Amino acid sequence: MRWWNTYKILHDMKEKLHWSAAEIRRYQFWKLRQIVRFAYHNSPFYREFYDKAGFSPDQVVSFEDITKIPLLQKKQIQETDPSHVVTQRDENGEPADLDWMVENTSGSTGRPLTIKRTWGDLYHIKAKIIRAFSQTGFRFYHRQAVIKSSAESLTGKHWFERLGILRKYWMAVTVSPEFNLESLRRIRPQHIHAYPSGVLAIAELLIERGQTLDIPVICTGAEVLDHISREKLQEAFNAEIFDLYGTREVGNISWECPAHNGMHVNEDALILELLDESGAPVPDGEEGQVVVTYLDGMDFPFIRYNIGDRAIRMPGICSCGIEFSRLKQVTGRSDSRIRLPSGKWISGLVFQELRDTTWLNAFRIVQDDEKAIKLQIAVRSKPQKRQLDALVKKTRKLVQDELDVIPEIVDKLEYDNSGKIKAVVCNLTSDDAPLSK
Ligand SMILES: [Zn+2]
């Protein structure tokens, strides 16, 4: 009856969409106090971390006191045995004998992060993403095509799918777009959830053939969706596009509503702070680093966790009536930024301009050293020297002429281990990034 639990949580979560901003804030404070105390008293990792930092949960007496809670860096979790973090423990203080699920996040930097989850945590993660889908028009009887990495497609079918409920059709990004297009024609899904690069390859094939395939809704996530890719998806599938933002650690963080004006943050499930280099909150409209407190993750807590991404919050309330605050844009995923020799980081989004180049099929920017970037390009037709030089010059301008640009023509861009084609990959260590003390 595990799925019944998810259904119940989903029902409650949908009710919370009607909350006022004041109700949301009251609830967040109540949950914040609860999870900080719980983590301190039950997780050896948090107890030690907070004791060392001279922090006690009693210091949190108002919502604003959240800033007194020490910031948690990704590196700390990476370097810790996950068994020290979990809060469910037996009388000897050992992790309780539960049906723990171990999840490894890949991360393009090669340093994995291991999370241990209970079913209780997983119900919340699943309900949260289904709620986001439901706001994009998804209904439980819809056929949903999921275009992601092949590894995830190994999940077996659930019994309820045979009854026509939450039917998922997994398609791997690693197989040819021709094959995936045929699968889509056969499945005729009402809803697609995909990595942008996976579904874009199919869209480009359709455009190339002068065809369209009607799919009402496409939700994208895990990679940055630039506006040119969005337009191509709309054109090829006549679809309404919704972008989602989330991470492996805390699941879905925000989702685009039908007003298509920013992404609502799941504020009943997490507190999202945007902080400047010194750790102070940035005003709405300004870019800051994403720090998340996951209020539903009681068994493996993430409290004031610096995800490493950057985003901008929008002022005001959305025309759809939901009072959960909105992110205007996620400007930089932690692993899709480029570092200039001056030490400044620039968002990978700046490179979307390159997509306007007609002879270019796909590109990837890779930074392995301080002074240069590689521009890997898969081409439709072999460029003339003049065209290639112009592209290199354009790319140099985007990095403010601070980096050398080394072009490299490749037959095909390979998917990374997690089945994504990231447009921008920075292999420099980010240990000296702001807030990472
Ligand atoms: Zn809205």
pLDDT digits (tens, 9 = 90+) for 214-248: 999 999 987 778 788 899 999 999 999 999 999 88
DSSP bridge pairs for 377? 363, 409
Mean pLDDT confidence for 17-30: 96
Domain boundaries, the chain: 2-124+257-332, 136-245, 337-426
Q: How far is the CA of 257 from the centre of ligand 1 (A)?
A: 5
Name the band, by pLDDT with cuts 50, 70 and 90, for residue 430: low
Q: Is the pLDDT of residue 359 over 60?
A: yes
Name the CATH superfamily, with its identifier, for domain 2-124+257-332.
ANL, N-terminal domain (3.40.50.12780)
Name the band, by pLDDT with cuts 50, 70 and 90, for residue 429: low
Q: Is pLDDT larger for residue 47 or for residue 224?
A: 47
Name the band, by pLDDT with cuts 50, 70 and 90, for residue 58: very high
Q: How far is the CA of 321 from the centre of ligand 1 (A)?
A: 6
Q: How far is the CA of 264 from the centre of ligand 1 (A)?
A: 6
Q: How far is the CA of 145 from the centre of ligand 1 (A)?
A: 25
Q: How far is the CA of 85 from the centre of ligand 1 (A)?
A: 35
Name the band, by pLDDT with cuts 50, 70 and 90, for residue 147: confident
Mean pLDDT confidence for 86-92: 91
Mean pLDDT confidence for 397-409: 91
- C-alpha atoms less than 13 angstroms from C-alpha of 305 in its C-beta half-sphere: 24
Mean pLDDT confidence for 326-339: 78
DSSP bridge pairs for 217? 191, 240
| pLDDT value for 1 | 54
Q: How far is the CA of 124 from the centre of ligand 1 (A)?
A: 22
Rounded distance, CA 200 to CA 216, Å? 16
Q: Is the pLDDT of residue 303 over 50?
A: yes
Amino acid identity, residue 371?
K
**Max avg pLDDT among 118-127, 326-335, 347-356:** 118-127
Fold that domain 337-426 belongs to in CATH: GMP Synthetase; Chain A, domain 3 (3.30.300)
Residue 435 has a CB neighbour count (10 Å cut-off) of 16
Q: How far is the CA of 259 from the centre of ligand 1 (A)?
A: 5
Find where tokens 């119940």 sit.
8
Q: How far is the CA of 254 from the centre of ligand 1 (A)?
A: 11
Q: Is the pLDDT of residue 434 over 50?
A: no
Q: How far is the CA of 298 from the centre of ligand 1 (A)?
A: 28
Q: How far is the CA of 215 from the centre of ligand 1 (A)?
A: 22
Rounded distance, CA 140 to CA 396, Å? 48
Model pTM?
Answer: 0.81
Q: 174: exposed, middle or buried (C-beta count within 10 Å: 0-12, 13-18, 19+)?
A: middle
Phi, psi of 224 (to 5 degrees): -70, 130
Q: How far is the CA of 256 from the centre of ligand 1 (A)?
A: 7
Specify the CATH number for 136-245; select among 3.40.50.10490, 3.40.50.980, 2.40.30.20, 3.30.43.10: 3.40.50.980
Helix, coil or strand: residue 390: helix
Q: How far is the CA of 404 from the centre of ligand 1 (A)?
A: 42
| pLDDT value for 227 | 81
Q: How far is the CA of 377 from the centre of ligand 1 (A)?
A: 37
Mean pLDDT confidence for 414-424: 70
Q: How far is the CA of 198 from the centre of ligand 1 (A)?
A: 27
Mean pLDDT confidence for 313-321: 94
Q: How far is the CA of 318 from the centre of ligand 1 (A)?
A: 5
Rounded distance, CA 427 to CA 369, Å? 8
Q: How far is the CA of 192 from the centre of ligand 1 (A)?
A: 20
The reply to whether 136-245 shares the fold of 2-124+257-332 is yes
Q: Is the pLDDT of residue 52 over 90?
A: yes
Q: How far is the CA of 64 from the centre of ligand 1 (A)?
A: 26
Q: Considering the chain, what is the average pLDDT of its residues?
A: 87
Q: How far is the CA of 343 from the centre of ligand 1 (A)?
A: 37
Q: What is the DSSP letter of 95?
A: B
Q: Which two tokens stand for residue 264?
A: 């609502």
Q: How far is the CA of 287 from the centre of ligand 1 (A)?
A: 20
